[in-house]
A and B are shown apart, each in its own frame.
Chain A
Amino acid sequence: MDPVLEVRDLSVEFRTARGRIKALRNVSFSVQPGRIVGIVGESGSGKSTVLWSILDLLAGNAIVTGGQIRFEDRDMLTRSTQEMLALRGEDVSVVFQDPMTSQIPVLTYARQMRDILYRRRGLGKARKREMSVEMLDKVGIPDPDMRVDQYPHNFSGGMRQRAGIAMAMLTGPRLLLADEPTTALDVTMEAQIIHLLREMQRETEATVVVVSHNLGLIAELCDEVVVMYAGEVVEAGDVRDIFHHAQHPYTRALLECDPARIEEKSHRLPVIPGDIPDLVQPPQGCIFAARCQRVMPRCLTEAPPLVEDGQGGYARCHLLAGPGHDVNWPPPPEVLTVARGAPATTGAKAVSSEPLLEIADLNVQFNTMGPVWAKVRGVKQPWVTAVVDASIKVHAGETVGLVGESGSGKTTLARAALNLVGSQGGSVRFEGQDIRGMAEAAFKPFRRDMVMMFQDPVGSLSPRKSVRALITEPMKIHGIRNVDPDHEAERLADMVRLPKALLSRYPHELSGGQARRVGAARALALNPKLVIADEPTAGLDVSVQGEILNLMAELQAEHGLGYLIITHNLPVVRHISDRLAIMYLGRIVEEGPADEVFAAPLHPYTETLVRGVPQPDPDRRRTHVVVKGEVPSLLNRPRGCDFVSRCPHARALCHQVVPPHVTAGHRRTHACHFPLGAASIPEKEGSSR
């Protein structure tokens, strides 16, 4: 069969002040009709550039320097503007990454969808509306006849992405492109969108190209995979071959770094050291040579050979053919090919009995309107409760993972613990002393002992300060004068493995990983006892995530730090946490030793999180979606159990009564009336309210 889409030797450059960035070099792949092809790569791989090239919608400074993009046997690059206008949205359509920014806020869906159908002159306005309603219904928007007249901001995030898919499928395109379709969504929503995409594809038999960095999504959704690195295709092939018998060292390394693949608990994660090369002057030879564990001299000088597997798949590597051919490559899947370093002294971790941080029944409320206004409008509760009766303990030398989706209140809980937002009830104790609601002046000394690492690595650094000034600032703040700031800066840079040359840089000149290290240096400057880290791996590529987590583990082993790690990414914390706390809608619904919580969840929500993560294994695809719907707004918290509106096991009692926190066996706590596998666990009533 002829391929629907065939990209041949595509090369794209971007003109910049520094010179031409050779963003794509000789990219080739083809897509057979009715197949789902995933393009996977980290940031800077050029995967999105490929997608926008197909639509001829590259940024103004981009130049296609060579190649062809054949869609149904005609080259896209030679089509006229008129022909492209007729093609886009009709034959080729797109699902966008962030439904929050990719839909115009001032037009209704009816209008936006009618506009997409503008080429269908024969159809009346009423018919177009009908088609839009039908399509919204098909993607699972409830009450579509009313919803179609609403604006994007009236939709929740997940609904918006459903509407985005409806818009893309409206014209029945033969080729559907999807740009990171789930990246902006929560885990439970991601599963639903993957499911929907697969269903829509099956129904329309459209050909789909998905661009993503998410290996789980690729494994679950795609038939074939194209692996890109620094603007080149390093490997392509059937999804099973790629995930089970990766040929290229980069593909292999990428898969090994994915925390979701690592079964055992480990305090050290595999990493790919180094950075992607500068694409203004791409290196000769193999593009991955600088970071490859199996690099040979010829890799630096000679372009690697293209080795086909006979079934349409191929890889470019000297290990596979020619003089550098290694018959033992690739090693069996159990063998790690990337560095992991010596395991940290995990056994020596002293977990003391006295908790460092003890939060009990903490409540945080946010006002929704001013007190005067509330009185005028007769609103009795002009606030929402973002954190409800949360209790959590962190001991010295212990890592506690606090996991929840967006809106779960996990960041608020952390900020309340640090007195950065006010709290309305409960207690926060640090080394036994109640610090909740303390005046800032009295609290200041505590800020030396309990510090926070913020989510956005670059955004949490003051933009007009040099790295040197930033990492020595804690000493200035706390009036420590008997140290040499330059010496301290270097000591801290050493501690977080930050090259000293970066000390004179400014935050925007740092990469995500480097900025993260600066943040760590600032946090650790005054030898704190407790570190609260908010999404420590956010914004980092898979291959860099491990470096940061390993660094944190090393520092913990050295200084006996207590960690509270806040994240939405269960697989990441699962390996490094001693205990896990799962949060939903402001309440901690389950808490306990990490491996136990992961292996046998008690709360249905925990189960959906554990099962909700798509596995980077095409043989373990899920056939159905565990949980439906989305996290409700704090403004309309369900009656009874918070999770009742989405819980697959909900019974009558759950709709009536808020489940109390129950302590069950091995230091495990949960808040569920009917915990999963309850029969095997002896229960006793704990502190309930």
Chain B
Amino acid sequence: MIAYLTKRLGLSVAVVFLVVLMLFSLLQLIPGDPATVALGPRATPEAVARYAEKMHLNAPVWQQFLIYAGNAATGDLGIDVFSERAVTTIILERIGFTLALIFAAMGWAMLLGIPLGCLAAVKPNTWVDRITGVLSVGTIAVPSFLVSIWAILIFAVNLRWLPAIGAGEPGDTADQLTHLILPAFAVGLSWVGYLARMVRASMLEVMGETYIRSARAFGLTQRRIVFGYALRVAILPTITLIGMGFGGLISAAVFAEIIFARPGLGKLIFDSVMARNFPIVQGGVLVATSLYLVVVLFSDLLIAWIDPRVRDSL
């Protein structure tokens, strides 16, 4: 177990290291002086010089990389060019909005998608199954940013039921929650279909297993077989899928944040890209990818926790 954890953590660190390396090489690939590129053509020579000094731009590239990687490892992601605040602080201020959105979206998608998938699998080829099938393919096919736009059009512009822009007044939980509804709906919608299909497929497969037939032969009730036996096995691939699909979830969240002007990590990165504020882009991307890796690791551990075969093979 410990060995497995070390191995997995080591692997994640290696991936993060690779990510940093890629980001760093991207910066090096741009023609021209990095400081000028970073600050834009209108920056004063003094600002450029100051920036170069702060970013160790005068050192050899590999040293710059090591300095950055070393700092990143201790949680220091550099200084924002314009406000001169620590990038880490800025990201920490914003990441809460993103996490709230992602959890809300995933939460409602799971609450709806997993039972729907079970239902469809238990009654295959009935109207419940068919409707679930069409609905889930339908929701998968609509890109989340289109859902966002159309949701704004319907609920904010036409019906005026819900606010479209921002994350709500700080401190006002009710207001923040109403601001969360539309983005969470937009981000989670395709996951409802995704999860329903996935759960249905793996449930169908598990329901055909020999041990389900033995459970029936021992007279266990349908309810116990479905929820106590089949779902316990069928949920495993779904967990993996959620972990792996988390990248897509982050992408959807970024779109939603931009469209709904929600001040989360995605919006931060987007605005910084537009403002060519590289330290924040770099830091933001690093945090986003680390978030993904943490979720994947967590999902693997969850599987090991549920499945004794995996647990014992670690």
Contacts and interface: CB of A to CB of B under 8 A. Distances in A.
Interface of A: 55, 57, 84-90, 93-94, 96, 98, 101-108, 115-116, 118-119, 151, 153-154, 167, 377
B211 A89 contact: no
Contacts of B308: 105-106, 108, 151, 153
Interface of B: 3, 209-221, 224, 228-229, 232-233, 306-309, 312
A103 B220 contact: no
Nearest to B125: A60
B83 to A, nearest CB: 46
Contacts of A85: 219, 221
Classify the interface of chain B: helix, strand, loop or mixed.
helix
Contacts of B217: 55, 57, 88-89, 93-94, 96
B301 to A, nearest CB: 16
A118 B307 contact: no
A87 B217 CA distance: 9
Contact of B219 (A87, A98, A154, A377): A87
A368 to B, nearest CB: 12
Given A105-B307, A106-B308, A86 B210 contact: no
Contacts of A84: 219
Contacts of B3: 377
Given A103-B211, A115-B220, A115-B224, 20 more contacts: A57-B216, A57-B217, A87-B219, A88-B218, A93-B217, A96-B217, A98-B210, A101-B211, A104-B229, A104-B232, A105-B211, A105-B308, A115-B215, A115-B218, A116-B219, A116-B220, A119-B219, A151-B308, A151-B309, A167-B218
B210 A153 contact: no
Contacts of A90: 219
Contact of A153 (B216, B306, B309): B309
Contacts of A115: 215, 218, 220, 224, 228
Contacts, number: 78
A403 to B, nearest CB: 30
6 contacts: A94-B218, A104-B215, A106-B306, A108-B308, A115-B215, A116-B218
Contacts of A89: 217-220
Nearest to A369: B3
Name the residue in B212, B216, B228 with the highest tally of chain A Cβ atoms < 10 Å from its Cβ.
B216
A80 to B, nearest CB: 13
B203 to A, nearest CB: 14
Contacts of B216: 55, 57, 88
Contacts of A86: 219
Nearest to A55: B217
Given A102-B211, A106-B306, A106-B307, A153 B218 contact: no
B236 to A, nearest CB: 8
Nearest 10 interchain pairs by C-beta:
A88-B219, A89-B219, A89-B218, A101-B210, A104-B211, A151-B308, A94-B217, A102-B214, A102-B210, A116-B218
A451 B222 CA distance: 51
A57 B214 CA distance: 10
A221 B25 CA distance: 74
Given A101-B209, A106-B306, A153-B308, A96 B219 contact: no
A379 to B, nearest CB: 11
A96 B212 CA distance: 12
A49 to B, nearest CB: 13
A103 B308 CA distance: 13
A154 B312 contact: yes
B220 A96 contact: no
A297 B209 CA distance: 46
Contacts of B307: 105-106
Nearest to A93: B218
Contacts of A104: 211-212, 215, 229, 232-233
Q: Which of B219, B228, B312 has the most A CB atoms < 10 Å from its CB?
A: B219
A394 B3 CA distance: 47
A106 B309 CA distance: 7
A119 B308 CA distance: 27
A118 B220 contact: yes
Nearest to B311: A151
B14 to A, nearest CB: 14
Contacts of B228: 115
A93 B185 CA distance: 49
Nearest to A103: B211
B229 A107 contact: yes
A106 B234 CA distance: 11
Nearest to B214: A102
Contacts of B229: 104, 107
A574 B217 CA distance: 40
Nearest to B224: A115
A87 B216 CA distance: 11
A187 B307 CA distance: 32
A104 B211 CA distance: 5
Contacts of B209: 101
Contacts of B218: 88-89, 93-94, 115-116, 167
Nearest to B3: A377
Contacts of B232: 104, 106-107
B213 A57 contact: yes
Contacts of B309: 105-106, 151, 153
A94 B214 contact: yes
A223 to B, nearest CB: 24
Nearest to A377: B3
A370 to B, nearest CB: 11
A86 B229 CA distance: 19
A151 B307 CA distance: 10
A265 to B, nearest CB: 40
A107 B213 CA distance: 15
Nearest to B308: A151
Contacts of B212: 104
B89 to A, nearest CB: 38
Nearest to A98: B210
A593 B216 CA distance: 51
A119 B217 CA distance: 14
A96 B221 contact: no
A151 B308 CA distance: 7
A104 B213 CA distance: 10
A106 B220 contact: no
Given A55-B217, A118-B224, A96 B312 contact: no
B1 to A, nearest CB: 13
A94 B212 CA distance: 13
A545 B232 CA distance: 42
